[in-house]
Amino acid sequence: MPNQTFYNLTATKKNRIIDAIIDECAIHTFEHINLSNIVRDAQIPRGSFYQYFVDKRDVFDFLYTHIGVLKMQFIGNLMDPQLDIPFLKRFERIYLSGLDFAQAHPKLMKAGQKMIESELFKENDMMKKATQSAIDFYVNFIKIDQEKGYIRKNIDPSLLATVMIEFSNKVSLAEYMKENVDRSTVEHAVKGLIDLIQKGIENHV
């Protein structure tokens, strides 16, 4: 993560550096990021860059965290356990808030896609911890719904949470990467998943 020196910069300079990082990472996977491009576009001396970041791995970790912080602004109170709504409705709203985030930050979403395509993403401890945290978050609400009788108690909360997370990471991201995202298509996808989970795939006589 950046040194404190970075956070002490003026908002204008800091945002210029962040924009340069996003521009570079929206084009290249981690393996092909060129720090010279970031330095040039940020209009800073190369030596100054290393006062803020250790290396491009540091840049990668910063961008991942930056995306998460911005996305949380769109999710709002949906992460709050005090919000009393069923898990599947909570998931639907979180999912659609991701669409709002993607439409508001298209270049950032492209950078996120490039991050996922990189080999580093698959072995990065920060990513693994974030994924496990998301699963644990969903597991908590699934168990609450099981106690309320909304979800069968013989459903494995971890399995269901993992399925939902994988759907979010794969299906939704592929849709968000399109030039023109059709909201109705995204809504149809999440409603279809929820219907599938609620009703299953077998005919019930």
Residue 100 lies in a domain: yes
Residue 139 lies in a domain: yes
Residue 173 lies in a domain: yes
Mean pLDDT of 178-194: 79
- What token pair was written down for 140? 């908590």
Instruction: Say how far residue 20 (Cα) sits from the centre of its chain.
Output: 20
Name the pTM for this structure.
0.79
**CA dist., res. 199 & res. 182, Å (int):** 26
**CA dist., res. 41 & res. 107, Å (int):** 16
Residue 171 lies in a domain: yes
**CA dist., res. 9 & res. 154, Å (int):** 53
Which residue range is the domain that position 176 belongs to?
A: 81-199
Residue 175 lies in a domain: yes
How many structural domains is the chain composed of? 1
Distances from the Cα of 16 to the Cαs of 106, 157, 159, 190, in angstroms?
17, 43, 42, 36
Mean pLDDT of 18-32: 91
**CA dist., res. 72 & res. 75, Å (int):** 5
**CA dist., res. 182 & res. 131, Å (int):** 27
Residue 154 lies in a domain: yes
Residue 204 lies in a domain: no
Q: Report phi then psi at 129, rounded to 5.
A: -65, -40
Examine the pLDDT at 143 and tell me if it is beyond 80: yes
* pLDDT tier, 160 (very low <50, low <70, confident <90, very high otherwise): very high
The string of pLDDT tens digits covering residues 38-68 is: 999 999 998 889 999 988 889 988 998 898 8
Examine the pLDDT at 12 and tell me if it is beyond 90: yes
CATH number of the domain enclosing 188? 1.10.357
Q: Count H helices, E strands: the chain?
A: 12, 0
Rg of the chain, C-alpha, whole Å: 19
Residue 163 lies in a domain: yes
